Amino acid sequence: MKLIFLGPPGAGKGTQAVGVSAHLGVPHISTGDMFRSAIRNETPTGLEAKRYLDAGELVPDSVTIAMVRERLAMDDCKNGYLLDGFPRTVDQAMALDQIDPPEAVVDINVPDERLLSRLTGRRVCGKCQGTFHISKLEDEHTCPICGGELYQRNDDQPETIATRLKAYHDSTEPLIDYYKGVTEPRLIEGNRLKTVNGDTKPEDVFKNILASLE
């Protein structure tokens, strides 16, 4: 299956993508993770992307589309993919429809007022990349899965979160209508959008996502 997770920063796309990609047997491709890895490895893409991530702004489409095009050409994408964080602009969505169109797009819906506390409280494991919330951790420095050290993402500060939310509303939210098939231009006819309530327990969100795909 070729699937996209849409939703604002902190909606739970990464959290849900781990279980859903394993369930469907397709690779979980997170453009945010790809950029963070490129930044750590100081690749040309990473050096270009860093200032955008630090500011909470979108990386230019040309860079992002080229990176995803290359990733989708890899062998493990032959039977599908789960894209998390891509596309984020109408131009990215149109490019994807030309490269390898998604069959379904799950919009994980969470009101803005819930997102700030989810993001400021997020901790990520530097070893296994697991994502947690401090409210659920006994020790906010240690990964409960592998014992690795937990850190806070640079862009999980309130000012940067505000910029990310604005980028979501300005550039990414229009994709809801794009995938409903109600806006011009469109390359593919029909409604590919499934909307799931993300403002509930993670295990219920998981069940609702699978139900929306049946």
Give a three-class secondary structure readout of 8-30.
CCCCCHHHHHHHHHHHHCCCEEE
- Among 2, 29, 72, 86, the residue binding ligand AP5 under the rule CB under 6 A is 86
Angle at 54 between CA 136 and CA 201, to 5 degrees: 25
Q: Which is nearer to ligand AP5, 20 or 26 (CB)?
A: 20
Q: How many residues does the chain have?
A: 214
192 C-beta neighbours (distance < 10 Å), count: 20
Report the nearest approach of ligand AP5 to the CB of residue 161 (Å): 8
Residues identified as active-site? 13, 88, 122, 153, 164
Q: Which is nearer to ligand AP5, 131 or 195 (CB)?
A: 131
Site residues for ligand AP5, 96-125, by CB under 6 A, read 118-119, 121-122
Report the nearest approach of ligand AP5 to the CB of residue 123 (Å): 7
d(CA 213, CA 161): 30
- Does residue number 130 form part of the binding site for ligand AP5 (CB under 6 A)? no
Site residues for ligand AP5, 165-194, by CB under 6 A, read none
- Binding marks (x or -) toward ligand AP5, 1..40, rule CB under 6 A? ------x-xxxxxxx--------------xxx--x-----
d(CA 82, CA 27): 6
- Does residue number 52 form part of the binding site for ligand AP5 (CB under 6 A)? yes
| DSSP label of 142 | B
Look-up of token digits 């739970």:
12
Give the torsion through C-alpha atoms of 120, 126, 129, 131, to 10 deg. Answer: -30
AA letter at 95: A
Q: Which two tokens stand for residue 193?
A: 């959008």
Q: Residues in contact with ligand AP5, total (CB under 6 A)?
A: 36
Q: Which two tokens stand for residue 150?
A: 């937990």
Q: Decide: 20 and 121 in contact? Cβ < 8 Å.
A: no
- Among 21, 27, 38, 85, the residue binding ligand AP5 under the rule CB under 6 A is 85
Site residues for ligand AP5 per CB under 6 A: 7, 9-15, 30-32, 35, 52-53, 56-59, 64, 85-88, 92, 118-119, 121-122, 131-133, 155, 164, 198, 202, 205
